[in-house]
Chain A
Amino acid sequence: MLDMLFSEHTITTGISLATPILLCALGGAVCSKAGNFNIAMEGFMLVGALFGVVGAYFMGNVAMGVICAIIASVIMTLLYGLFLIKFKGNEIILGFGFNMLAVALTGWLLAPLFGNAGSFYNPNTPSLTKLAIPIIKDIPLLRCLSGHNIIVYLSWIIVIVLFIMMYKTPLGFRLRALGENSKTLDVTGMNTVRYRYLAEIICGVLCGLAGAFLSIGNLSMFTENMTSGRGYIAVAAVGFSNAYIPVTAVASLIFGFTSSMAIQLQGIGFPSQLVDMTPYIITILVIIISSFKKNKDKGSRQ
């Protein structure tokens, strides 16, 4: 049973399950560092997913699908940013509202776009091709890293790029300063509003990619509320890692792998509800443990 749990198949599935969580969590981490505890990634991703299929289906081109997904998701984040930054809304309530808006909006759009409610599947819609990495694809175990679509590889590159951006460039320094203490940034005469919107746009691009991965990454299809809580697990990954990007990435991967193992467990007759529960239970445990830990750190510092 154990070798089934840790088989190459589990790892491959784990990577593809982790990818949307990873992308959303990175977006959330950037927002979080810039002072916005964003819980609306679920909604942004859902809108991205719908427009991924829309782009791929109507333009017959999968790249256009990805671009549409990103544009749609960015528009949503800009709207979110407008209400958060200009209209000073409460971030939790806004996030809650935008998640609900995304479900309603995508559900509504299905009928006029595709003429049927609930879901859309058309076998002629293009989807992202799987790319093999030349040498790695022949090495046992490591070959799990090969054979994914472009968004998976892109997500790994984004982890590195974002880390460098956030911790090695002036831009990242300013973004982080925004979250630490936005008034000091104001005092230096910087346009803080611009940076806050920038964080939202980054989040939008990443959530759009995550949505595109879900809808046109494998099969080209969209079902109502197809993100099914992945965005919330991403929020948990952000909370768990304290928005420190390398840890955020690892946390997302852990969530992906455990879900993948859970699927294997389901295959051998484990009750499906308990299996579905795993990411939530892990998140809860992680929050419990990390709050104990955080408290200990605080104690030692004082």
Chain B
Amino acid sequence: MNKSWVQSLLRLLVAFAIGLIISSLFILAVGENPIVAYKALLEGAFANKLGVFTTLRWTVPYIIVGVAATVSFKAGLFNMGMEGCIYAGALAAGLLGTIPGLPPIIHVPLCIMGATLVGMIWMIVPAFLKAKYGTNEVIITWMQSYAMTLLCSFLVTEYFQRPEDITSAAQQVRTPFIEPSAALNPIIDPYKLNTSLYIAIALIVILYVFSKYTIMGYEHRMMGTSYDFSIYGGVKTRKMQFWALLISGGIAAIAGAAETLGVNGQYIHGFSTSMGPNGIMVALMGRLNPLGLAISSLFMGAIQSGARAMVRATEVSVYTMNIMISIIVICITADGLYEMLHIKKRQREGD
């Protein structure tokens, strides 16, 4: 048990080191000093109050989407459609948020529940096909994600946008502002970090308790590790697969709702800067472990918040950070790499 934990950490460190080395080469290639660049990034993310709060502000949605991804990954399913769920949840929350005359104690949960429901409904088709026919969920969730993103943009432009917003300078597709009663308020005023932080923390705790202390969590985990074994053990795998995808979609939608209610105060199309894919990265980097998830979300949040400072201070482009993250993701599942480095015991051929 303890050993697998150490192994996990070592693997992560190796992947991180490879990512760091390769991105350093890219920084050197533009004639900059990698240490200076990374220092600028860290300073931008942590050195002042604004930086810290911006880092945390980005950490929150990453945690939520990361939990959503973990729920599906742990069950051995790849929900690639989280971006669509995020948009769907954001739009649902944005629309429910405009209902006037509700007390905050009802209004905020209503918006979040509404978003969750929409996210879950959106996942019914792939979940049903997976559970009933064993259809590969990767393509369908992925395609749905694109379709949903476009659908949200269409719905807002056609039905929910106020005419005065169309002519505004921003030219963004957006809904009217939500009522103050629906808002997730900032924790410390001028900064964008808001009470959705508590939602993120709650989700992490729930995930931890669920997978560690409940029978269903054990079955859920088992199904992802060894599908045949879990069938043998009597796990209702089909039902589990169905709900894993649904819940994954629902949680992803909460991330969208949190962005709408907490940060933007309205649905703005294009607000999710690849939050879905980034959530997948976070889950993978966190090795599907709740604590790892929180740390990797903080890491991604810091990059999001510090990259701008780095770009300002040096000639390094933002792509360098994306190169680093993708290298980490590529390295992270490569068992052979760790066998070669003697971190992981070689598995017998055919196991």
User: A residues within 8 Å of B by Cβ?
Assistant: 37, 39, 83, 86-90, 92-94, 96-98, 100-101, 103-105, 107-108, 111-112, 117, 183, 229, 232, 235-236, 239, 271, 273-274, 276-277, 280-281, 283-284, 287-288, 291-292, 294-295
A93-B333, A97-B329 known; A274 and B139 CB under 8 Å? Answer: no
The CA of A28 and the CA of B333, in the complex, are separated in Å by: 21
**Docked complex Cα distance between A94 and B335 (Å):** 12
A265 nearest CB across to chain B (Å): 14
Tell me whether A104 and B326 are in contact in the complex, defined as CB-CB below 8 angstroms, given that A87-B335, A283-B143 are known contacts: yes
Residues of B within 8 A of A117 (CB): 317
CB <8 Å contact, B125 and A104:
no
- State the 3 A-B residue pairs at the shortest beta-carbon distance, nearest first: A87-B334, A104-B322, A87-B336
B225 at the interface (CB under 8 A from A): no
> Min CB distance, B240 to chain A, in Å?
19
Tell me the bound Cα distance from A178 to B143 in angstroms.
Answer: 29
Instruction: Name the A residues within 8 Å of B327 (CB-CB).
Output: 97, 101
**Contact, CB under 8 Å: B319 / A97:** no
A277/B151 contact (C-beta < 8 A), A97-B330, A100-B325, A104-B322 known: yes
B138 within 8 A of partner (CB): yes
Question: Which residues in A have their C-beta under 8 angstroms from that of B150?
Answer: 273-274, 276-277, 280
CA distance A271 to B161 in the complex (A): 15
A295 to B335, CA, bound (A): 34
B154 at the interface (CB under 8 A from A): yes
Decide yes or no whether B36 CB sits under 8 A from chain A.
no
Residues 298-351 of B at the A interface (beta carbon under 8 Å): 317, 319-320, 322-323, 325-327, 329-337, 340, 350
- Whether B157 pairs with A291 at a CB distance below 8 angstroms is no
Q: List residues of chain B with CB within 8 A of the CB of A276.
A: 150
Report how far A277 CA is from B322 CA in the complex, Å.
27
| Contact yes or no, A104 B323, CB < 8 A | yes
15 extra interface residue pairs, beta carbon distance < 8 Å, beyond A183-B350, A280-B146: A83-B331, A83-B334, A89-B333, A89-B336, A98-B326, A105-B323, A108-B320, A112-B30, A271-B157, A274-B150, A283-B139, A287-B140, A288-B140, A291-B133, A294-B135
Q: Is B280 among interface residues, defined by CB-CB distance under 8 A? A: yes
Q: Are B280 and A288 in contact (CB under 8 A)?
A: no
Q: What residues of B have a CB within 8 angstroms of the CB of A283 in the complex?
A: 139-140, 143
With both beta carbons as reference points, the residue of chain B lying nearest to A84 in the complex is identified as B334
Q: How far is the CB of A185 from chain B (nearest CB, A)?
A: 13
Residue of B nearest to A232 (CB): B142
CA distance A96 to B139 in the complex (A): 12
Kindly list chain B residues whose C-beta atoms are within 8 Å of the C-beta of A291.
129, 133-135
User: Chain A contact residues: over half helix, strand or loop, or mixed?
Assistant: helix
Decide yes or no whether B147 CB sits under 8 A from chain A.
yes
Q: A94 touching B143 by the CB < 8 A rule? A: no
Q: Kindly identify, within residues 26 to 80 of chain B, every residue whose CB is under 8 Å from any CB belonging to chain A.
A: 26, 29-30, 78, 80
How many chain B residues have a CB neighbour from A under 8 Å? Answer: 49
| A295 (CB) vs chain B CBs: closest residue | B133
A96 touches B133 (CB 8 A): no
Q: Is the CB of A107 within 8 A of B319?
A: yes
Binding site for A on B (CB under 8 A): 26, 29-30, 78, 80, 125, 129, 132-136, 138-140, 142-144, 146-147, 150-151, 153-154, 157-158, 277, 280-281, 284, 317, 319-320, 322-323, 325-327, 329-337, 340, 350
Nearest Cβ in chain B — how far from A294, in angstroms?
7
Asked if B323 contacts A101 (CB within 8 A), the reply is yes
Residue from A39, A88, A101, A232 in contact with B336 in the complex, judged by beta carbons closer than 8 Å: A88
Chain A residues within 8 Å of B280, by CB: 96
Cβ–Cβ contact B334 & A89, under 8 A: yes
Are B336 and A86 in touch, CB under 8 angstroms? yes
CA distance A89 to B330 in the complex (A): 8
B residues within 8 A CB of A107? 317, 319, 322
Checking B29, B144, B158, B329 against A96 with a beta-carbon cut-off of 8 angstroms, the contacting residue is B329
Across the interface, B329 reaches (CB within 8 A) one of A100, A271, A277, A294, namely: A100
Contact B157 A93 (CB under 8 A): no
Name the one of B29, B80, B139, B334 contacting A236, with C-beta atoms under 8 angstroms: B139
For B330, the chain A residues whose CB sits under 8 A away are 83, 89, 93-94, 97-98, 101
A104: min CB distance to chain B, Å = 4
Pairwise interchain contact A273-B334, C-beta atoms closer than 8 A: no
Using A112-B30, A277-B151, A280-B147 as known contacts, say yes or no to A93 and B326 having CB atoms under 8 A apart: no
Contact of B125 (CB < 8 Å), options: A229, A239, A288: A288
CA distance A291 to B140 in the complex (A): 11
Assembled-state Cα–Cα distance A53/B139 (Å): 30
Q: Please name all residues of chain B whose beta carbon is closer than 8 Å to the beta carbon of A37 when the two chains form the complex.
A: 136
Shortest distance from the beta carbon of A235 to any chain B beta carbon, whole Å: 6
Nearest CB in chain B: distance from A111 CB, A: 6
Residue of B nearest to A109 (CB): B319
Residues of A within 8 A of B146 (CB): 229, 232, 277, 280
Q: How far is the CB of B62 from chain A (nearest CB, A)?
A: 15
B232 to chain A, nearest CB (A): 21
Determine which of A39, A98, A111, A281 lies in contact with B147 in the assembled complex, contact meaning CB atoms within 8 Å: A281
Q: Which residue of A lies closest to B154 (CB)?
A: A273
Shortest A79–chain B CB gap in Å is 9
Alpha-carbon separation in the docked complex, A183 to B154 (Å): 50
Q: Which residues of A contact B139 (CB under 8 A)?
A: 232, 235-236, 239, 283, 287
A241, chain B: closest CB distance, angstroms: 12
A-B contact pairs, 21 of them (CB 8 A): A88-B335, A89-B330, A89-B335, A93-B284, A94-B330, A94-B333, A96-B277, A104-B320, A104-B323, A107-B319, A107-B322, A108-B317, A108-B320, A111-B30, A111-B317, A232-B139, A232-B143, A273-B154, A274-B150, A283-B140, A295-B132
Which residues of chain A come closer than 8 Å to B151, judged between CB atoms?
273, 277
